[in-house]
Amino acid sequence: MKSLNIVKIGGNVIDNQDALNEFILAFSKLEGYKLLVHGGGKIATKMAENLHLKTKMIEGRRITDDHMIDVITMTYGGLINKKIVSQMQCYGINAVGLSGADGNLILSEKRSKKDDIDFGWVGDPKQVNGKWLRSLIMEELVPIIAPLTHDGKGNLLNTNADTIANVVGVALSSFFDVSINYCFELNGVLEDIHNQSTLIKDITYEKYQILKKNGVIVQGMVPKLENAFDAIQKGVKGVRIMNHRSISKLEKEYYDEFTTIH
Amino acid sequence: MKSLNIVKIGGNVIDNQDALNEFILAFSKLEGYKLLVHGGGKIATKMAENLHLKTKMIEGRRITDDHMIDVITMTYGGLINKKIVSQMQCYGINAVGLSGADGNLILSEKRSKKDDIDFGWVGDPKQVNGKWLRSLIMEELVPIIAPLTHDGKGNLLNTNADTIANVVGVALSSFFDVSINYCFELNGVLEDIHNQSTLIKDITYEKYQILKKNGVIVQGMVPKLENAFDAIQKGVKGVRIMNHRSISKLEKEYYDEFTTIH
C-alpha cells in the first residue's frame, strides 16, 4: 500500500500568521499523499468577542450554543479553511477544503448532556466516508479538513480536530499505510515540559502506562496519546507527536526530533 | 449528452430563512444532475456592521478591502455555504460545498483599478476546472458553489454569483446539456416590473435588442441577459430567469411560469 501522511495542526499555529505561513510552505513541499486537519485556535473566541457574544467554557471545553456554532462555522469552515486552501494553491498544491458535511465526509452524533452540562452543538464522529476521501486523494487532491462535522439532520457540529485526524486516519488505513502527525508547540512528549531537550523519542503502550503512573504524562497529553494508541490498534501504521517545524523533516526520518508512538 | 441543471439563487432567498428552507427542499427534489451557485445576500453587510466595519459601495458594487474579504470569506464560504450543505445532506442530497479556490475550481483575475476606483479583492473568472467538477457530478455529488474565487497567488476574490453560474455552465457544456436557471424574487423578465402577470415567456437575442431599446429591459436585467446570451453562444443549451419557487416546476416544463432565453 502507498503511504499517506495525515498532519494535524492546532490553534497555536493557526493563531500565529508567520508560523502558519511557514507551516503551509513546509506542508506543501512534503512529498507523497497527504491530508491536513486544522484546529480553530482563538479566532472563534476573538470573533465572538467582537460580535459581543460570550464564550462559555466548562472544563476547558467550549459550550457551543446557536450563536457560537455560527461563529465556528464562519471562522473554521470559512475563514481559516479557505485561506489555507488558497495559499496551498499558490504553492502548487491542489487543495480542497472540506467540512464533515461536505460529501457526507464525517457523520457525528450530537453529544448528549452529561452531569447536567449541555455542550450544545458538539459532535462525536461515528462514520467517515473514507471511500470518497480516498478517491479525492488518488486524484492528487489534498484535502484540508476543518473541525466541523454534521449530524445528518441538517445541523453542523463543533468537533475536536485531534479526533477528526484520528477517525479519518482509521478510515483511510484500509487504503493506505497511514501515519498521523499531531503538530503542536513543543518538540513532542517531554519528560520535563519546560525543557525541550527531554524529548521522549518513542513510546510504546507499556511505556505510556508507566509514564502516566509516574506523572510524566499529564493533562492534555493523556487524551492525545489514548487517541494515538486507539488509532494504531485500529490499523494506523504510526503516530508522531511533533513541532510543526519538524514537518519538513518527516521524509528524511530524523527520528530524533519528535516522539513516535508505536 | 445527459442534462445538467445549474441553479443560481440570489441574496433575497439567502436573506429569508423560510424562503431558503423552501428552496433547499425543492432543489433537493429536482431530479437528474444539478449544481447550485449561491449569492451572498445582506449577511456580509450585516456581519461587517456588527464588527464595526464600514461597507463602501460605489455604483452598487461593494468595495472589498482586506477586512471585507475576510468577512465575505467567513459568511459566503463558511456560514451560508456549509449551512446549505448540511441541510441538503438532511434531505439525502450528497452536497459538497466549494469556493473557487477548492480544487482550483475557478481561477480569477483581480479586477484592476478603473477611473481611479479600486474595487479591492474582486475577481473576474478566467479559467474553470470543469473536468474536476464533472467528475464530482458523475459521482452523484451535488456541488454548492460560493461566490468566491482565487487568483492563484494565495488570495481569495469576491466574485459575482451570476458570473460564476455563467462560466461554470460554459465549462460544463462540453460534458452535459446545460441549462442555467437564474432564480430571483420576480417570476422572470416582466414587461411591467410592478405586474407579475406581464411575464415575457421567451426572449431571443433580436427580441432582447428591441426590449432594451424600448426601455422595457433596464438596469440589473441588462447584464443578466447579456450573460445569458453569452453563455448560450458558448455552448449552454438554455437559460431561464425565474422565481425560486418555480424550481419545483422545472422538470414538468411549465414554460408559462418563467422566462426562457434562447
Read out DSSP for B12-31?
HHHH-HHHHHHHHHHHHH--
- Name, of A1-5, A11-15, A53-57, the range with top average pLDDT: A1-5
Q: Is B64 on the interface with A (CB under 8 A)?
A: no
Count of A–B CB contacts within 8 Å? Answer: 121
Torsion of CA A62, A66, A67, A71, to 10 degrees: 70
Q: Is B104 on the interface with A (CB under 8 A)?
A: yes
Q: Is B195 on the interface with A (CB under 8 A)?
A: no
ipTM higher than threshold 0.90: yes
Q: Where residue A126 falls among pLDDT bands split at 50, 70, 90?
A: very high
pLDDT of residue A207: 95
B window 19-58, beta carbon within 8 A of A: 47, 50-52
Q: Is A135 on the interface with B (CB under 8 A)?
A: yes
Q: Where residue A250 falls among pLDDT bands split at 50, 70, 90?
A: confident
List chain B residues with CB under 8 Å of A87.
154
* Digit-coded pLDDT (tens) for A168-221: 999 999 999 999 999 988 889 999 888 888 999 999 999 999 999 999 888 888
CB-CB under 8 Å, B73 with A156: no
The answer to whether B77 and B48 have CB atoms below 8 angstroms apart is no
In A105-195, the DSSP E strands lie at: 106-110, 123-128, 142-145, 148-150, 156-158, 177-184
The answer to whether B100 and B107 have CB atoms below 8 angstroms apart is yes
pLDDT of residue A140: 95
Contacts for B169 with CB less than 8 Å, ≥ 6 apart: B6, B178, B180, B231, B236
Burial pattern A208-223, b for ≥16 Cβ within 10 A else e, equals: beebeeeebbeeebee
Q: What is the nearest CA distance from A161 to chain B, expressed in angstroms?
A: 17
pLDDT of residue B253: 61
List chain A residues with CB under 8 Å of B148.
82
Angle subtended at Cα A203 by Cα A201 and Cα A208, rounded to the nearest 5 degrees: 135
List chain B residues with CB under 8 Å of A84.
none
Q: Which CATH number fits domain B3-261: 3.30.565.10, 2.60.120.280, 3.40.1160.10, 3.30.1540.20?
A: 3.40.1160.10
CB-CB under 8 Å, B86 with A150: yes
Q: Which residues pair with B157 in a beta bridge?
A: B149
CB-CB under 8 Å, B83 with A78: no
More confident residue, A114 or A87: A87
Distance CA B139, CA A37 (A): 24
Residue of chain A nearest B50, judged by CA positions:
A51
Q: For every one of its 262 residues, what pLDDT tens digit does chain B have, with 9 covering 90 and above?
A: 899 999 999 878 898 899 999 999 999 999 999 999 999 878 998 999 999 998 888 877 779 999 999 999 999 999 999 999 999 999 999 999 999 999 999 999 999 988 888 999 999 999 999 999 999 999 999 999 999 999 999 999 999 999 999 999 999 999 999 999 999 888 899 998 888 889 999 999 999 999 999 999 888 888 889 999 999 999 999 999 999 888 888 876 656 788 999 8
Distance CA B244, CA B250 (A): 11
**CA B159 → CA A253, B39, B70, B153, distances in Å?**
43, 9, 14, 16
Q: Is B162 on the interface with A (CB under 8 A)?
A: no
List chain A residues with CB under 8 Å of B123.
none
Q: Which residues pair with A242 in a beta bridge?
A: A183
Q: Is B17 on the interface with A (CB under 8 A)?
A: no
**CA B42 → CA A159, A223, B54, B71, B87, distances in Å?**
28, 42, 13, 12, 20
Q: What is the nearest CA distance from A65 to chain B, expressed in angstroms?
A: 15
pTM for the structure as a whole: 0.95
Residue of chain B nearest A94, judged by CA positions:
B103
Q: For chain A, give the mean pLDDT.
A: 93
Residue A31 confidence (pLDDT) above 90: yes
CB-CB under 8 Å, B75 with A103: no
Q: Which residues pair with B194 in a beta bridge?
A: none
Q: Is A132 on the interface with B (CB under 8 A)?
A: yes
pLDDT of residue A142: 98
Q: Is B67 on the interface with A (CB under 8 A)?
A: no
Give the closest of A78, A82, A96 to B103, CB-based: A96
Distance CA A261, CA A239 (A): 5
Contacts for A9 with CB less than 8 Å, ≥ 6 apart: A23, A36, A37, A38, A39, A183, A244
Mean pLDDT of A14-24: 92
A250 is written with which cell numbers? 518527516
Secondary structure element (H or E) that encloses residue B66, with its range:
helix B66-72
pLDDT of residue A84: 98
Nearest to A183 by CA among A10, A6, A3: A10
The answer to whether B100 and B108 have CB atoms below 8 angstroms apart is yes
Q: Is A66 on the interface with B (CB under 8 A)?
A: no
B123 is written with which cell numbers? 475577481
Give the closest of B83, B155, B156 to A73, CB-based: B83
3-state secondary structure of B217: coil
Most A CBs within 10 Å: which of B43, B74, B99, B121, as the mutation test of the A interface? B74
Distance CA B249, CA A72 (A): 36
Q: Is A94 on the interface with B (CB under 8 A)?
A: yes
